[in-house]
A = this chain, B = another copy of it.
């Protein structure tokens, strides 16, 4: 069993609350992020909650993308899980800008398993590529 995918897990803070509560616009930015990442969309669901909040998932040929928003906190939880050697980070960077995030946290987890990891021992932190950043989004915008 080889490593099969990269799972980028992002928390966006200080986002535009109006945008976070608008399922049409959330869908648009997620689709834009999918396009920027270069993945192939095969299905989608977006749902608005009462009194507020949007959830959405996009199944892609390379796995999935998801978003959950808490407009009352300016917070969005985003996942971009890609296989096939596709880098999920362009989508992440686009979303930080599109959601007007003031800051973010991001980590990336390797899915599947490296052949050299013995199944009889615990998964250790060094087995997962945990790449975390907290920074103002303006730093991302320079990229």
Q: Closest B-chain residue to A132, C-beta based?
A: B123
| Distance, CA A29 to CA B130, complexed state (A) | 30
- A57 proximal to B (CB < 8 A): yes
**Other-chain residue from B4, B55, B79, B133 in contact with A42 (beta carbon distance below 8 A):** B55
Complex contacts, A113 vs chain B, CB 8 Å: 11, 13, 105
- Whether the Cβ atoms of B47 and A59 lie closer than 8 Å is yes
Minimum C-beta distance from A133 to chain B (A): 7
Contact assessment for A107 and B130 in the assembled complex, using a CB-CB cutoff below 8 Å: no
0/1 interface trace, chain A 112-124, chain B, CB 8 Å (1 if under): 1100000111111
Known: A13-B113, A66-B66. A107 touches B119 (CB 8 A): no
Q: Is the CB of B122 within 8 A of A133?
A: yes
Q: Is the CB of B5 within 8 A of A109?
A: no
The contact sample of 12 A-B pairs, CB cut-off 8 A, is: A5-B68, A9-B111, A13-B119, A56-B59, A57-B59, A64-B66, A107-B123, A122-B132, A122-B134, A123-B133, A124-B132, A127-B132
